[in-house]
């Protein structure tokens, strides 16, 4: 997700080759990738895409990882058929592209997916995880939808305003220390404001030496020094879901 005040590139990193364990379904007006948990515990997680779209293998890999830990997962197409950002796209056109893909205007899609999970998947406890663009979306829905028992926002941040700290339920924020998209000053401001205003549990974790996209768009075997941070971030994500969903 580009910082709205200062658009800059969001590198796709390592696009993995991955077929997926789930299958595609139609949820009212949108398509989605659904993976059933091996254990039906009545728990589900909505996984929200980054700017590269709902079909990015990396995001489906993360959804399947979450599913393997006891949650039915669904990756809806929150761009509703519009083209995702292409890795070779002209970044000067990115702000215009983003105007028709507002991460805070997804309520119609969220409502449809919640209904699907409750009626078709018999989900009684629901969480939400999002990456980059999806991290901003998670922050939005955690302020609006009390039925989300927990949220994990991964390198997504909302510009400062008075209403972005009123979280309804526990939310974990994961950031990278060397993120060219999200300056550490923004993370510090978020930390300060949540401490002053937030009434529910939250946690902010910043991973040293890491860059934007490290949790889902950096291969675990790319460098030995990065692997412990990737593993810890993914473990933190799952622990947060296990604790609150």
> Which positions are annotated as active-site residues?
132, 179, 212
Q: How far apart are CA 44 and CA 63, in angstroms?
A: 11
Q: Nearest-5° angle of CA 206, CA 74, CA 137?
A: 45
Question: Residues of 116-148 as b/e, b for ≥16 C-beta within 10 angstroms?
Answer: bbeeebebebbbbbbbbbbbbbbbbbbbebeeb
Quote the tokens at residue 46.
């909505």
Q: How far is CA 87 from CA 77, 90, 159, 236, in A?
A: 18, 9, 25, 28
Tokens of 151: 């949220």
Backbone φ, ψ for residue 202 (5° rounding): -155, 160
User: If we measure between CA atoms, which residue out of 1, 184, 213, 186 comes closest to residue 91?
Assistant: 1
């Amino acid at each position: 997700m580009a910082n709205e005040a200062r658009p800059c590139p969001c590198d796709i990193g390592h696009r993995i080759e991955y077929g997926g364990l789930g299958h595609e379904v139609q949820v009212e007006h949108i398509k989605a990738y659904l993976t059933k948990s091996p254990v039906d515990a009545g728990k589900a997680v909505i996984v929200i895409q980054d700017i590269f779209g709902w079909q990015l293998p990396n995001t489906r890999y993360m959804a399947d990882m979450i599913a393997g830990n006891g949650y039915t997962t669904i990756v809806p197409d929150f761009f509703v058929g519009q083209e995702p950002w292409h890795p070779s796209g002209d970044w000067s056109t990115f702000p215009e592209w983003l105007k028709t893909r507002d991460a805070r205007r997804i309520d119609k899609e969220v409502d449809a997916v919640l209904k699907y999970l409750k009626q078709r998947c018999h989900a009684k406890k629901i969480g939400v995880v999002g990456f980059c663009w999806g991290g901003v979306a998670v922050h939005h829905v955690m302020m609006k939808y009390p039925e989300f028992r927990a949220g994990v926002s991964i390198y997504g941040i909302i510009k400062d305003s008075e209403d972005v700290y009123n979280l309804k339920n526990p939310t974990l924020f994961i950031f990278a220390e060397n993120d060219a998209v999200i300056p550490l000053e923004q993370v510090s401001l978020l930390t300060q404001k949540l401490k002053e205003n937030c009434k529910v549990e939250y946690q902010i974790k910043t991973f040293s030496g890491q860059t934007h996209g490290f949790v889902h768009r950096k291969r675990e075997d790319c460098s030995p020094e990065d692997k412990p941070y990737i593993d810890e971030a993914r473990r933190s994500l799952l622990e947060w879901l296990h604790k609150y969903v």
